[in-house]
Amino acid sequence: MKSNLQATQGILSILAIICLAAGWFKIFPDNINYLLSARLFYILIGISFIVQGRMLMHTKFMYPMYASAGLCIIGAFLPMDSSLNVIKTIGLLGGVVISFVSRSQNR
């Protein structure tokens, strides 16, 4: 079960990176690049954080990871000119930090 979750989380992360790269390198028209890099990227990262949260051993990391995922996903649906748009970046940063801290705690 854990290896299936790890594979799923890895695939989601790779898809998110592809979306981000496509937006950065402007491979598609502007509206598609925006959709990929500013919306779909954060949705995929949020889902990846949810999957990763299921693999964490301690609830002290699991629930904050779910909160980070929620911030990423909710932030992806906010308008770009919204003052709350920063929440998706906070969610991304929080999820990455939790990921690194939880790995060091498991060793």
pLDDT in tens, 13-53: 999 999 999 988 999 999 999 999 989 999 999 999 999 99
- Smallest CA-to-CA distance from 46 within 74, 69, 16 is with 69
Quick one: pLDDT band at residue 81, thresholds 50, 70, 90?
confident
Instruction: Output the pLDDT for position 1.
Output: 63
Return the higher-pLDDT residue of 88 and 3. Answer: 88
Average pLDDT over residues 99-105: 84
Instruction: Output the pLDDT for position 106.
Output: 63
Domain ranges of the chain: 2-106
State how far the Cα of 66 lies from the Cα of 55, in Å rounded to an integer.
12
**Rg, C-alpha atoms of the chain:** 14
